[in-house]
Amino acid sequence: MATTQQTHSATTRQALTNYRILDLSRIWAGPYCTKLLADMGAQVIKMESLSVYDSHRGPINPARGIAAYPDGEPGEEPWNRNGWFNMLHMSKYGITLELTGEAGKRVFEELVSISDVLVENFRQGSLARLGYTYEELRRFRPDLIYVSMPAFGNTGPWQKYLAYGIGQEQLSGMAHMTGYPGEGPMKSGINHGDPITGSHAAGVVLAALRHRRRTGKGMFIDVSQQESAISLIGGEVLAYQITGVEPERRGNRSPHFAPHNAYPCAGEDRWVTISVTGDQQWRLLAGILGGSALASDPRFATTVDRLQRQDELDELISDWTKHREAYEVSRTLQEAGIPSSPVLRGPDVLQDPHYRARGTFVSVNHRQVGSKMYPGIPWKMSATPGQVRWPSPTLGEHNHQIYGDLLGMTVKEITALEEQGTIGTKPTGSRII
């Protein structure tokens, strides 16, 4: 697999090379937005507080054995070794800055003045409470594009509430639909709202940059993380308005096709998915499972019949799959024209020949983690392909580079900020909030 370039100069032309993003966001939604922009070549400056740094770096004194750390070992500086953080912040510069003092505010204002876009996903109004409304920030950069991503947006009765992705599925109505028949709501297992919001925000940043190129004007962009999650259930909302019937919890089953499920295979926790989308596919599957007798069984003749007898079908198919290897089942069914796929685990994905051929994962050598595999660029563009340019920054790694090279500060001035505690490379707080 490819090994990412470890210098800070790009070897290929990238779409957003001439744009600078000041990234104040944290955890997932905002950082995912800026990750996508960094993947396209933008110069992203990740700014953190020493007292309350990005929570994805993890606590200052974590327990050993947590999977987020390489080999479950937090190390001497665990805030630089967390896998979640190091996945989301590749190709970004990392600086620290405290905004509670005048020195930090002056530096922040200089950073704003040289940035095209500012992204934050704080509690609504956090920057404004520090004196930085959008209008105030425009004093330093009149054509600034400001992306604000609070949980519930910047208006409405819930605007002041704090929330994270873990609650978005419940408040969006998504969790009401997920789960198994006859059981209660079930969280999906991952916080879908975060990466969806990040994708929405990245897309609208591109639109705003295009607008500014045509008009010379920046804009304030209000992105609600909660509404991004709600946008995923548009079909179900429309169906309810038309029929008055609420979506049913159905696990892995489909409301339109049967059989349609994940089935156990030989080995520990190995599964294969099978989806029969029509009568002809059913007859093909039935012939593989039980020959002509099953294929002609009137109980399963039509889709309507099969939808009414899914328990029987799932038991029949499971009895066949559980003695067979998942890839074997999938190959057999695909060759017969039946949609099927093995359920890949993490190691399977890393070793899959298709992903290896596509360069889906890249080897990135982080100075405190070593060489590990991370997801690379998920799209392939001919002229501006994008690339993972360097590892995620350690806390404050690029302070001297950004403050010196970009802002023109002297070594003496930077040292003074370090001595004041305005910038640094070691956390000053006792925990992460």
Q: pLDDT tens across 45-88, in order?
A: 999 999 999 999 999 999 999 989 999 999 999 999 999 999 99
What tokens does 264 get? Answer: 């156990």
Question: What's the pLDDT tens digit per position in 308-362?
Answer: 999 999 999 999 999 999 999 999 999 999 999 999 999 999 999 999 999 999 9
The conformation of residue 206, written as its DSSP 8-state character, comes to H
Give the span between the Cα atoms of 402 and 347, in whole angstroms.
38
Residue written as token pair 């967390």:
82
Reduce the DSSP state of residue 351 to 3 states and report it. helix
Q: Active site includes 194? A: yes
Cβ neighbour number for residue 301 with a 10 Å cutoff: 14
pLDDT band of 12, cuts 50, 70, 90: low
DSSP letter, residue 68: T
Q: Which of 3-17, 244-258, 359-373, 401-415 has the lowest mean pLDDT?
A: 3-17
Give the integer Cα–Cα distance in Å for 223 and 203: 11
Q: Which CATH superfamily is domain 260-345 in?
A: formyl-coa transferase, domain 3 (3.30.1540.10)
pLDDT at 4 (0 to 100): 39
Contact 145, 208 (CB under 8 A): yes
- Both structure tokens of 165: 């992705």
> What residue type is assigned to position 224 of the chain?
S
* Average pLDDT of the chain to the nearest whole number: 92
Banded pLDDT at 192 (limits 50, 70, 90): confident
Measuring CA to CA, how many Å separate 80 from each of 139, 278, 298, 349, 370? 35, 52, 62, 25, 12
Q: What are phi and psi of 85, to 5 degrees?
A: -65, -45
Q: Please report, for the chain, the start and end positions of each structural domain, with discontinuous segments joined by +.
A: 20-232+359-420, 260-345
* Nearest to 270, CA basis, from 343, 198, 330: 343
Q: How far apart are CA 186 and CA 183, in angstroms?
A: 8
Assess whether pLDDT exceeds 80 at residue 433. no
- List the single range of 200-204, 206-210, 245-249, 391-395 with lowest mean pLDDT: 245-249
> What fold does the segment set 20-232+359-420 form as a domain?
Rossmann fold (3.40.50)
The pLDDT confidence band at residue 2, using thresholds 50, 70 and 90, is very low
The answer to whether the bond into 31 is cis (omega within 30° of 0) is no
Q: Which amino acid is at 177?
A: M
**What's residue 7's pLDDT?**
43
> Which tokens is 298 given?
């009137």
The one catalytic residue among 23, 54, 116, 194:
194
Angle at the Cα of 238 (from 233 to 239), degrees rounded to 5?
100
Nearest CA to 368 among 67, 2, 57, 98?
Answer: 57
Structural contact between residues 369 and 399, judged by C-beta atoms closer than 8 angstroms = no
Give the residue from 289, 281, 294, 273 showing the smallest Cα distance to 336: 281
> Which DSSP helix (H) or strand (E) runs through 320?
helix 310-321
Q: What three-state secondary structure class fits 370?
A: strand
SS3 at position 21: strand
DSSP 146-157: EEE--TT-SSST
Based on DSSP, count helices (H) and strands (E) in the chain, helices before strands. Answer: 18, 11
